[in-house]
Amino acid sequence: MSLSIWILNLAILAVVLESDLGRRRIGPVRLLRPVLTAGGIVPFFLHRIATGGNGAVLEIAGTAAGIAIGAVAATLMRVEYEPASRRSYSRAGLRYALLWSSVATGRLFFAYGSQHLFGPQLGRFMHTHRISIDALTAALILMAVAMVLTRTAALWVRATQARSAADRREAAPATATP
């Protein structure tokens, strides 16, 4: 594993936690900052993507895991809409931070372990299954990016739904109580 895994994971973790912890307004900058960070970093570190074989399967699995974990992370944020200010807000706390930190730590431990703890075993596995180092690195990077994109999409959808629900409540005729 290369330095790219460390840089990408720590940069994304820092930007996501800074963007999401506490009560934060949901707006275009908030939604795009982690995506732009990931998009700006990835071209420097994602060199080759496998187009077939077990390397491609591993990359797809990493992407799928990132989507699933990003969706779980999104459920750990509460989204609210304030009709008076016409703004959406989210709240994320300790459980959200622990999930992102745990996943990033797991990826970093794997990167460290592949060089210092279980390198020969991993090498044999990769050789046996014809998986390149580039495919393994790409799978980890794609996992991190998929988490960010899923979190962003879910946050946007939930903010839009909260705003629409508030607009429907506001437009509904008042019912008279007897």
Q: 98-152 pLDDT, tens per residue? A: 999 999 999 899 988 988 999 999 999 999 999 998 899 889 888 988 999 999 9
User: Which of 174, 145, 125 shows the shortest CA–CA distance to 15?
Assistant: 145
Tokens of residue 167, six digits? 């607009």
178: in domain: no
18: in domain: yes
* Letter string b/e over residues 51-65, b meaning 16 or more CB atoms within 10 A of that residue's CB: eeebbbebbeebbeb
Task: Tokens 């960070």: give the residue.
Answer: 37
46: in domain: yes
With 0.85 as the threshold, say if the pTM is over it.
Answer: yes
Query: What would the pLDDT profile of 48-57 be if each residue is shown by its tens digit?
Result: 788 889 999 9
120: in domain: yes
84: in domain: yes
173: in domain: no
Tokens of residue 82, six digits? 């304030």
Query: What would the pLDDT profile of 4-45 be if each residue is shown by its tens digit?
Result: 667 878 888 998 899 999 999 999 998 988 888 878 877 877
Query: What would the pLDDT profile of 56-103 be if each residue is shown by its tens digit?
Result: 999 999 999 999 999 999 999 999 999 989 999 999 999 999 999 999
User: Which of 89, 73, 81, 86 shows the shortest CA–CA distance to 154?
Assistant: 73
Instruction: Write out the residue range of the structural domain in which residue 12 sits.
Output: 3-166
What's the count of helices (H) and strands (E) in the chain, helices before strands? 6, 3
142: in domain: yes
Tokens of residue 143, six digits? 């996992």
61: in domain: yes
Q: How many domains does the chain have?
A: 1
